[in-house]
């Protein structure tokens, strides 16, 4: 039996690559939890994750209903068993994504989980850092002015790795 304790986590750097509501919340919850534990936290939004920083889409993120094989997790919100599969073809029908988004937002509100914009503000105000990926910004023809005002900087991947350097630092990809 190894009696050595693992080194404590001092910093968490989370790469956010998905821009759906269900793709963004895990990163926000983990970053906020880290800050509440006194752990440094940085969020690096890349590719479709930039959807959560873009001023025009930030407040209107949707739950992905097409191709989401885990949507059965939401069935209890409808009073149905979790073992009941959600037919992916239903996700393509008009209004289904909006309905699923409404259900998720309602449940998050019951649990006192803030909306995305407010969550970003909480993380930033607590000392967490929020970065956008330069390559993805260039690819999607975005400028820093298009993003939420609290974005700390637009970084290259190399700069993100520099930001992530240090003993006790962990990088997570969501």
> What is the value of pTM for the model shown?
0.89
Q: Within a 10 A sphere around the Cβ of 45, how many other Cβ atoms? A: 30
pLDDT for 8: 86
Which residues have C-beta within 8 Å of that of residue 115, sequence separation ≥ 6?
59, 105
CA distance 73 to 57: 25
pLDDT for 80: 78
pLDDT for 97: 87
pLDDT for 116: 96
pLDDT for 148: 97
pLDDT for 11: 96
C-alpha separations of 143 from 20, 148, 151, 153, 173 in Å? 21, 11, 12, 11, 24
pLDDT for 119: 96
pLDDT for 1: 59
Q: Within a 10 A sphere around the Cβ of 26, how many other Cβ atoms? A: 14
Domains of the chain (ranges; CATH) run 11-173 (3.40.1260.10)
Beta strands in the chain (DSSP E): 11-16, 40-45, 129-133, 153-155, 169-173
Q: What is the mean pLDDT of each run of 10 residues along the chain (174 residues)?
A: 79 96 95 97 97 96 84 78 78 85 91 95 98 98 97 97 91 91
């Amino acid at each position: 039996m190894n009696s050595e304790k693992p080194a404590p986590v001092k910093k968490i750097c989370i790469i956010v690559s998905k821009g759906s509501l269900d793709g963004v919340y895990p990163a926000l919850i983990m970053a906020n939890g880290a800050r509440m534990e006194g752990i440094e936290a940085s969020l690096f939004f890349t590719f479709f994750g930039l959807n959560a920083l873009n001023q025009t889409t930030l407040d209107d993120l949707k739950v992905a209903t097409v191709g989401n094989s885990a949507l059965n997790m939401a069935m209890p919100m409808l009073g149905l068993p979790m073992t009941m599969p959600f037919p992916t073809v239903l996700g393509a029908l008009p209004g289904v994504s909006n309905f699923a988004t409404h259900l998720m937002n309602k449940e998050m509100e019951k649990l006192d989980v803030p909306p995305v914009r407010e969550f970003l503000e909480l993380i930033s105000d607590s000392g967490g850092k929020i970065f956008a990926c330069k390559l993805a910004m260039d690819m999607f023809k975005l400028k820093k002015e298009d993003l939420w005002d609290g974005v700390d900087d637009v970084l290259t991947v190399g700069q993100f790795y520099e930001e992530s350097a240090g003993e006790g630092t962990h990088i997570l990809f969501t």
